[in-house]
Structure formats: structure tokens, C-alpha cells
Structure 1
Amino acid sequence: MAVLCCLLAWAGPEAFATTDRGGTLVGEDPVAGTPHVLDGEVLSVAQVGGTIVLGGTFTRARNDGSATELPRRGLLAFDAATGQIDPLFHPDPDGPVNVVVAGPAGTVYVGGEFSRIGDQPRLRLARVALAGGTVVPRFDAGAVNGEVRDLRLRRGKLWVAGQFTRIGGRRHRALAALSARTGAARRSPEVKVRGQARKGLGRTTVAQVDLNANGRFLALIGNFRSVQGERRVQLAVLDLRRGAAVTSFRTRFYAAPCSDLYYSYVRDVAFAPSGSYLVVATSGGPGLPGSPCDTVARFETRGTDRAARPSWIASTGGDTVQAVEVTPSAVYVGGHQRWFNNSFGVNSTGPGAVARQGLAALSPVNGLPFRWNPGRSRGVGVGDLLATDRGLWIGSDTDRINGQLRSRIALLPAGGASYPAVGPPRRPSTIYRVQGGDLVRRTHRGSRSGPATTVPGGGPDWAGVAGAFVLGGQLYVAGRDGSFTRRAFDGTSYGPPEPVDGADGLVPLLDWRAELAATTGMFYDRGRIYFTLAGSRRLHYRYFNPESGIVGAVRLVASRKAGGFAPRKARGIFVAGKHLYWTTASGRLRRTGWSQTAQAARPDGEATDVGGPLVDGVRWGPGVVFAGPTVRRGG
């Protein structure tokens, strides 16, 4: 019960697939004036006050607009506003820097594979002052006998992740908590990370960690099989208020193997700002739909599901995603990927694939890309992403973003394109029905319906429409010819139609076109188009991003017959509030509960008649029926 309570407290308003809240993306044109890192790779980006600190494998840099090269081995600091490199900060570690994390009082913690830094002996871990780049003498963790891969600071504790077994003479395998002030290894909390994802292959490693916003929960990924004695393959979450006990969150998703070249394929993990979900990025080679390989996946952190499935999976079709950063508006990802929405691609474009070279902004609701597409020269990939008030910092091993020279570090500015909040109505105040080739509307409240009003012409040829829904002031129409269009619609007049074909640019999504022609009812809810098909006993869905017009490549199943709802017999279907409505062949309007889950929603509860010949004297079906905008009197 204690675990359940803490997880429910952890979950925020974004829990269970979120709602379409709307948001603002960063811009696509990088900010001018950032410095140029001239070799190697930027692996980590941190902000300390008004200073940006980079860690990596580089040795040279220069200011923008200058031809003078500056030696900067592994560490570099520059002014976040002007982009000018700090001339006095060059600690020059003698090995790669994997991670930099902001510390207190103008300092930065540095982890990697070095043995000296700032002319002082520090084996793989140090704290460095930004003023002059000197090592803070009081912080000394002693010998770390393996690579430090990641760091996080929380309330006087520095969490250290990597491929070590001892720190400062104490036994700590892959994860340890140190005193943030002195670097001394703490006896408590002790975290036991054991095993390998594929037994006997590689060394036990915690590759990346992330803290939720209030610092209570620590997510870790890497090459391990158990944490604190409980089976957790490649992904676990710790509750730091309960002595670093593992939470009840557990998934088998990353127990599945990918290519034989990879014994561990998880690459990055990040919490949403609310902490209600986390996102994991992977490599591993192309896999079948539903595979964890070369994907980005979202997991809800609410509840006590002991075998959590992803809420959504975004597939590249065979390319690695190395970095992920979650904001309220988007899941930003970077790697050497060429495509997304590519579940059927095998190092090639499959049906529905869209080009997103090196960078992408995915919808938090369903993982489908937004139109945002600056593109970057791919190289090995993106070492780190950091969202700040000024925008999104991108550290990588390549030189160009959106065709502009920004060598290995770039800032995409805040205040880019916005997208509106959308969703189904809270109640079916006005219901539209195709009748005799015309579209008519009636007000509806409880089981009482108003008189029918014919909507003026100028819209679709309703005789050729298989399904329709209204979303964000747009009427979406599925044609019996396999077309999918949208147009402005206010209940009385129509705008011109435009195709919704964001997933058809590279390889047409022909299965979706065939489904449109066979649709017997459809509606949108929380990032998904739900639909019934002639002769099918299932309620199906595909992901849909209204901002980009991209439809998900994979058809999924929400439910079979449930809650009195029989998909094979339903004709017009729509959702309003917490209820699913549909019409029957005899003209009845029925409803049942509509229950949200992490992956989709489903019918739930007994079905009741809320309209029809015996209730309100109106014959509601069969045919196209949807809830739409309420029109004021005289409209």
C-alpha cells in the first residue's frame, strides 16, 4: 500500500496517455554566435548559471566569427548569452568526459575516463570551479575503478552511474551515492545492481540515470538484470525516499533481444517534467512492430502494474536514437536515425515512414512526429540534449543543423511553432447525422433531442463518406474511395478540403487507405483515431498527430465486444466526455462508459439507450453520426 500511495502521488495530470493540451516547440533555425567545437564529440551539456559547460572527446574549439583555434581538451565553458568561450576555463582532463552536471556555488561535477584534471589527480570523477577551471580540493572520491557514465545531484547526494565495482575503497557496482560536498562514498543507501541483460555478456553497467522533478525517483538504464534483488532488465526506478527501494514499476519490454551485436541496447532515459511518465531511447537494429529495438518508448509511472507495457512505441526502422529530452510540449530525440513512424522498415522506408534526419520532436501523447524537422548531419549521433528557458541545446559529433554551420553544439531557440489543444467534446450537445445524402444536426441533452436542421451544402459528398469526426474546428472525413481529408467546419459552413496525408510522402500507407473505405464509424480521442470496420468484431485504432497529419503505421486493437458495445454491429460511433456513443441498425442511440488506459481507451460498463424511436422518437442510424459544434440560434 505504501508503494501504491507514493506512485499515485508521483503521477501528475499527464498520467495515462495525457490529453491533447497544446504546446509550443522550439524553433528550427539555430541561434547564431554559439562556439564551434572542431573535433571529437560533445557528449554532455550542462548549464551553470549563465554558463554552458560541454564535456566530450574534443580537443579544439573556436569562437564564432574567429579563425583562432583554442585548445580545449574534453571540457569547455562559454557564456550562454554571447556564445564566447571562457578564456580561463580549461581544466584539460587527460581522458574523455562522459558527463557534466551543475554543482553548487559555480561548480560542475565531471565524470568520465580521465586520471588527471586541472593538474590534479582525480580518477574518473571530479568537481571543478568555473572560475579558473580549478579542481575543488575538498571533493575527492578516491579511486573509481571503472568508467563513470552519468551523474545526478540531489539534496547533498551525488549519484554516480557507470561500469565500476569500487569507489573510494568501498564496494559499489555500477551505481553509488556519494557526499556531494566531499565525494566520500556513502554506506547508505546501498543499491545492488546485478547481472547482465544477456547473461554473461559484457559488464554490469548503469549507462544513464534521470531524476524526476522533485528528486524523489531515480530511473536507471543499462546492462543489468536485477536491482535490489528484484528482476529489472535494463530499466528500473528507485524511490529515494524509501532508501532507494525499487518501485513496483517493472517491464519485460527490454528483456527481448535485439541484434547479436548488442548485449545491452538502451541508450537514454528521461522523465517528463511532471514525473508521471518516462521515455527510453534505444539502438539494437530493426525489429518487427512492437519490438524494443531502435525505438523511443513511453512508460507511465503510475500504478502498480508489474508488467508495464509501453504507452506508445516510435520506431526508426533500424537506426539508433541516443538522446532524449522531455518537455511539456514535445519529446525531443536525437541520434543517427533517418526516419520515424517506420515500424515496417528494415534499414529502409516502410509504409508510413517520414523523414526525420538526426533530430525529431515527437508528440507526448502518441510518439508520432510533429512537422518540426530541422534536420542535422547525422554522423554517429547526438551526445546530449538539454532544454532550458532559452531553448534546446544539442551536443553532437557533426557540424550542420538545418543546413547551417553549428559545429557540434547548437541552440534551437524557444518560441517556435505552436499547436492548439484539441479533443472530443465533453458532452454530445449537438449530434450530426447523414440522412438521405444531407447532413442534419440536432441538439441533444440527456434523452431529449431538438428538431432536425439541415446543414447547408458546400461540404463533402455525404453519399461517399464512410466516417467523420470534428476536431479543433476541422471536419475530418473518411471517404469510401479511401481518401482522408479535412476542412474548416463551424456547423453551418465549410472551408475548402485538404488531404491528410502526412504519412504518405515516402511510402504510401495503403492499409490505412483500405481501412478508410471499409470504416463503419470513427472518432478521435487522445492521440488516437478509433474505428470499426465492416465485418470486424474489434474496435481498432491508429495513432494520429493532427498537427502534422501523420497517421500511425501500425493498426492496433482497443477492444473486442465490451461494455455492451459490439463493434461488428455499431454504425456511427463517437466519444463525448467519459462515454462512448454509437448507433444501431434499428436507429437506437446507445452509450457505455469509456475508460482510459495507458495504451488506449476501451468501452466499460452496461450499455443504455439515450435516443432512438422508443426514447426520443428520432431514428439515429444506421449511417455516419458524429458529435460536432453547437450552433447558436439563427446560425
Structure 2
Amino acid sequence: MDMVARTKAQGGRLCLAAAVALVAVLSLLTAGSAVAAYSNTADAGTWGANGRVRAIARSGNRVYIGGDFTAVRSPSGSLRTAIRIAALNATTGAVDTGFTASLDGSVYALEVGPDGTVYAGGFFDNVNGTRHPKVVALSPTGAVLSSFNITADLPVRALELHAGELYMGGSFMKIFKGSQGVARSRLAAIKVPAATVDATWQPKVNKHVRALRKSRDSDHMYVGGDFTTVTGGNPQFALASFSLSNGAWESAFDPTVRADPAFCGNGCVMDLATSVDGSRVFAAVGGKSPGNALLAVSSSNGGTLWDLVGDGDFQAVAVQGNWVYAGGHFMSVARDTRRAKFITVRADDSKGAYVDEFRPTVNSSLG
């Protein structure tokens, strides 16, 4: 199965994208970061989907989901057409009918701007019947915003919005503004809302980018994927850091990702998160053992702090407070079958200690 492109933990709910017919939106019972405050069961009123959910983004009381689905499903089982993107009410979990859009290919990444603009990246070529390949901006009602005339030649798999720039990662080799194309090697930054390609931010990698995560101090962009070299042909496998200001490769950040690149069919590094204090980077790793791990590295130099190896891909990771949440295809971690598909770990622990108070059961792989 393919990866979950994004996870978000925001505002009192933990949201993870699930494989088929399930959106696991798990409610906080009380405010705060205590893991015991989460329920192990999904809200009764939460709607699901009839296909994979690959991306989630929250804006106020609205949660946007994107993926492969063609309909969302009510708790009673009734279906409502939703072609690869939909909005849910963050409080009730019900579908929000004030947003409607249709895309002809999978959505892999979502971001929402402070003005409510929804940015979507993926494998699509047409949005609401209008040609707009691989990346699009939508209004809060789902209308295509023609002022954002940015497209790409190949899929956009990851998005990160920061300080008036939309950072994009994926498989693309060229970004277009209207009909004018500029070369970009799987990473690019777009100034918004002006919709101009940032000429100064030009990092390069040689294979797919699947995850982007800004550092907490906003100085660095962590990049995850399947690549083996970065800017200048320098060797760097699957996880790298680039300057957020000018795109320069930061060689001091030199993590070891133990996945075998020959077995990264779903992806080597599929998702990224950072600790609240910014000292740690967490990576969801696939690609056969000794990959298939939740990896924690130092944000200063990439040194391994711990890695928890499972028997299947880790495809999603999110941080809230002092807790790290991860989901994937695994049925055990370190041969412990109690850690199936979903684990919770203390973010500040020296060995990645499990937290057993929050261990939901899902009926399909996460990813």
C-alpha cells in the first residue's frame, strides 16, 4: 500500500489517515497534552471514506481530508459523493457540505493558509473539470483559485506552508507558472498569494520526496523520501536538512536511515515530525528490516537517539505535547504484538519508551 503523506495533531484532536474506509479521528476528552486524555475509540459521529485517506489538514473547526476515495460514509453507512477531497466538522466529525471539489487523481498532501486557502498536491491533472496538474489552490468553498496558476510536471507528494511560502516536495522536475516552466529537482518554494516561484530556494535531490517538516525555530526544512544524493551530488540517504532561507544543504545534519533503498517500494522516509522543543526529529521509515522503524534523531547533527523496528512500514508520525504517535503496516514492534498498527511513545525518552494508556485498535493498516 502507498504512504500516508501527512499527519496533523492539532487543537485537541489527533488525526491520522487510515488505509481503507476509516478515518481515525481520535478525540481528546480534556484539554492538555496528557496521553491518558485521549479516547481509544473513534468518535461515534465521525464520518469515514470509501478509500484511502492520504492527507489531513485542519483549519479552525474544519478538517480537510484528501486521498483516493470517491465518497465519504456516514456512521449509518450512507455515502455522499466526495471525489478525493472533503471537509469534516472538527467537533462532530460529520461531513461539512459547505466545501465541495472534485479531482481526477489522488491527493497526497494538504495545507491550509491563514486566509482559508486550501492547497492540495498529488497525482491529479484536472480539478473541478479544469486542467490544473499536480498542485492547486482552492477557496474555503472548494472553488479553484485561478490566481494560483502554479502547476507541476510530475506528482507533488508533500507540502509545508510557512511565512508566505508554500514549500513543495515530490517527483517533479519542472514547476510552471502559467505556461512558463522552471527547472526544480523535486523541491520548490512558491510565494503566496503572489504565486511566483522562489528563485533563491533551489535544493536538489535525486529521487522522490515524500515528507517535509519545518524546524521549530523556522531555520531548517527537513526533507524525507527515497533519495540517495542531494545538492551537488553529495551522498545523503532518505533524510536531509536544507536552509529555509536559501535552500543550502546542511551537511552537519547527517542521520543514518537503516532502510534498504532497494526495498523502498512504498517509500524510505514517509513522514516527519519534530519535538515541541525542537531538539528531535522523528521519521516514519519503511523499506524492509532494518527499516520499518520509528526513528528519532538529534535535530543538531542527525545522530540516532533511538529507533523502534517493526515488521512492516511505519507510514505516519505526529507529535502533540510530549507524545509521539505513529501508524503503519506493522503487526508488532520489537516482536511485541501488542504494538500493532499504532504506537505511542514519549518524545523525550532516551530509549523511546512506549505509552500504553493510548493504544487504539483499528481494523486496517494505517497507510
Q: CA deviation at 1:252?
A: 5.4
Matched ranges for 1:399-418 at <5 A: none
Counterpart secondary structure, 2:196: coil
Show the 5 A alignment for 1:94-493.
Answer: 94-131=104-141, 133-142=142-151, 144-168=152-176, 169-194=181-206, 204-229=207-232, 230-241=234-245, 243-251=246-254, 253-254=256-257, 256=258, 258=260, 260-262=262-264, 265-287=268-290, 293-302=291-300, 305=301, 308-316=302-310, 318-340=311-333, 342=334, 349=335, 353-364=336-347, 365=349, 366-371=351-356, 372-379=358-365, 381-382=366-367
Q: Deviations over 1:505-540 (max 9, x none)?
A: xxxxxxxxxxxxxxxxxxxxxxxxxxxxxxxxxxxx
Rounded to whole Å, the distance in 1 between the matches of 2:149 and 2:344 is 40
Equivalence for 1:58 = 69
Which residue identity does 1:113 align to in structure 2?
F
| Partner in structure 1 of residue 86 of structure 2 | 76
Q: CA deviation at 1:216?
A: 2.4
Q: Equivalents in 2 of 1:94, 1:301: separation in Å?
A: 38
**Alignment root-mean-square deviation, CA:** 2.0
Q: Which residue does the alignment assign to 2:45?
A: 33
Distance (Å, rounded) in 2 between the aligned partners of 1:44 and 1:321: 15
What residue in structure 2 maps to residue 581 of structure 1?
none
Gaps of 5+ in 2: 1-31
Aligned-pair CA distance for 1:245: 2.0
Describe the superposition over 1:190-241 as per-residue Cα deviations: whole angstroms up to 9, x where unpaired: 21223xxxxxxxxx21111111234322100112223332432211112213
Distance 2:318 2:138 in 1: 25
For residue 99 of structure 1, report the CA deviation from its aligned partner.
0.9
Contact 1:335 1:378 in 2 (8 A): no
Partner Cα distance (1:251, 1:214) in 2 = 19
Contact preservation (8 Å) 1:48, 1:108: no
Q: Is the 8 A contact 2:208 2:227 kept in 1?
A: yes
Partners of 1:68 and 1:226 in 2: how far apart?
48
Alignment of structure 1 residues 539-618 onto 2, 5 Å: none
Query: Which of the two has higher C-alpha Rg?
Result: 1
**Aligned position for 1:487:** none
Corresponding residue SS for 1:137: coil
SS at match of 2:101: coil
Q: What residue identity is the alignment partner of 2:169?
A: A
Quote the Cα distance in structure 2 between the aligned partners of 1:286 and 1:23. Answer: 32
TM-score (norm 2): 0.83
Instruction: Summarize the Cα distance change of 1:360–1:368 in structure 2 as closer, same or farther, 3 Å threshold.
Output: same
**8 A contact 1:269–1:324 mirrored in 2:** yes
Whole-angstrom distance in 1 between the partners of 2:259 and 2:339: 26
Unaligned runs of 5+ in 1: 1-21, 195-203, 288-292, 343-348, 383-635
Residues 87-106 of structure 1: CA distance to partner in whole angstroms, max 9, x if unpaired?
Answer: 24221101111111112322
Shift of 1:333: 0.2
Shift of 1:23: 6.0
Letter in 2 for 1:359: F
Q: Is the 8 A contact 1:236 1:249 kept in 2?
A: no
Q: How many residues align?
A: 325
TM-score normalised according to structure 1 size: 0.49
Percentage identity across paired residues of the two chains: 24
